Copies of this chain bind each other. A is one copy, B any other.
Amino acid sequence: MNSEDVRFFSGLSNPRLAQKIADHLGIPLSGTHVSRFSNDNLFIQLGASVRGRVVYIVQSLTPPVSDHLVELLMMLDIAKSAAAREVHAIIPYFSYARSDKKDAPRISITARLIADLLKTAGATHVMTMNLHSPQVHGFFSMPTDPLTARGLFLDYFLKKELNPAEAMVVAPDMGRAGSAARFAALLGLPVATASKVRISDTQVKIGGLLKRQIYGFKHALVYDDEIATAGSVTELSKLLVRKGEVEDITLICTHGLFLGKAEQRLAAIPQIKEIVTTDTTMMPDDRKLPNLTILSVAQIFGEAIRRNYLHESIGDLFTFGYS
């Protein structure tokens, strides 16, 4: 990549990952000045000229989500208005992907709204990772690449040579069933699905057949896309221990937020031996999780950006609907 021709910026949400991607590409990370006016309006200034250049802006929609979103929209607008040639929104964690359907009256399919706002603000291309459902890809009106972190997890677990008679992959709900099954197949393991069913707006039932599925297995790999307050994943863990003969549990998730009571909830279950996640979100230094393994997605994003810039195919970094 021609470092004169590109500009690389980071919002406030995940500068650590942005720096790693920039390092991978051998491109400097230009500064971004973010401050607030006295009335709480954001003020943002990009630290390098973007005229006619290819601009990359890295921002994860981690808490405070609204601020990080508005930051991103303003950065895109600056790049567009200052005559950038291309404006790439690199959104490792697109939190609103979870708001992907209208499952109650008079609510918003917010993922589509955000996709439209990104377009309005000036994004000409989006890169993101492990969207909550593969259909969210179709919400974007500009070319979009939902990359996958599955390769990272595969590499990590293949080395462990898990025994298919003892270890199984567990999807925490029906929505994750497809991706968990695919992950399991690639590891040569069986898969079970917890059928958490939303019967009405207030009632959730965890399927009675889970017990049948997990019968006889000792090691469970719970495969989720995102852990926020760890409520459902710890509930499931308890169930696995209680209903089955599961002895130890590994939690796997692309987006590890670990907010609120997550730390204490996870600490309360001794069978959780390891939590494997990535750096799509930036862990505050003061958050302590034992047995946490963080795999970096910097190389995946870096490689995707490089290939896109050089007009090479990025198909093998891509999710293709099943991550």
Contacts and interface: CB of A to CB of B under 8 A. Distances in A.
Given A51-B314, A195-B181, A101 B65 contact: no
Contacts of A314: 51
B49 A106 contact: yes
Given A65-B39, A66-B70, A178 B175 contact: yes
A174 to B, nearest CB: 4
A192 B311 CA distance: 45
A96 interface: yes
Contacts of A133: 133, 135
Contact of A40 (B40, B51, B64): B64
A39 B259 contact: yes
A159 interface: no
Interface string A253-288: 000010110000000000000000000000000000
Copies of the chain in the assembly: 6
A50 B106 contact: yes
B205 A185 contact: yes
A314 B106 CA distance: 11
Contact of A74 (B100, B108, B175, B212): B108
Contacts of A53: 311
A102 interface: yes
A102 B321 contact: yes
B228 A38 contact: yes
A125 B177 CA distance: 33
A97 to B, nearest CB: 9
Contact of A113 (B73, B110, B116): B73
Contacts of A95: 39-41
A66 B175 CA distance: 31
Contacts of A81: 102, 108-109, 143-144
A223 B307 CA distance: 43
A54 to B, nearest CB: 10
A198 B313 contact: no
A113 B38 contact: no
A83 interface: yes
The 3 closest A-B pairs by CB, nearest first: A52-B311, A103-B321, A135-B135
